[in-house]
Amino acid sequence: KAGVTQTPRYLIKTRGQQVTLSCSPISGHRSVSWYQQTPGQGLQFLFEYFSETQRNKGNFPGRFSGRQFSNSRSEMNVSTLELGDSALYLCASSLSPFFDTEAFFGQGTRLTVV
């Protein structure tokens, strides 16, 4: 079956702009989480969605938001981009809401803010 699909793979944006990233989970997986990966901070949890509801949120400013659609596809949005938002953004899906079974990650979206 198809894996987790993230689009686009690469993105270059200017400071102050906003960006939307997309994630299609594995069919049947209703729990979707987003992570930010940077060399300095490592992998940081952004938020988790289940059945179109955000159930958990990491320690990120309100500029970071997301949503989930009825087909479990998820989007995350970053407004008023800052240079520090440059990162690899990873989406993961799992059968278990606590991710205590195997989590499947997408290839990520590499965001560069200039």
Partner 1 sequence: SQQGEEDPQALSIQEGENATMNCSYKTSINNLQWYRQNSGRGLVHLILIRSNEREKHSGRLRVTLDTSKKSSSLLITASRAADTASYFCATGSAGGTSYGKLTFGQGTILTVHP
User: Helix, strand, coil shares of the chain as percentages rounded to 5?
Assistant: 5, 55, 45
The whole-angstrom separation of Cα 29 and Cα 72 is 7
The whole-angstrom separation of Cα 98 and Cα 18 is 30
Assign 114 to helix, strand or coil.
coil
Which of 18/111 has CB closer to partner 1?
Answer: 111
Is residue 21 close enough to count as binding partner 1 by CB under 8 A? Answer: no
Is the CB of residue 34 less than 8 Å from the CB of residue 46? yes
Is residue 100 close enough to count as binding partner 1 by CB under 8 A? Answer: yes
Shortest CB 75 distance to partner 1, Å: 16
Q: Which listed residue (15, 16, 27, 43) binds partner 1 by CB under 8 A? A: 43
Shortest CB 76 distance to partner 1, Å: 13
The whole-angstrom separation of Cα 100 and Cα 52 is 20
Query: Per-residue x/- mask for partner 1, residues 50 to 89, rule CB under 8 A?
Result: x----xx-xx----------------------------x-
Shortest CB 16 distance to partner 1, Å: 26
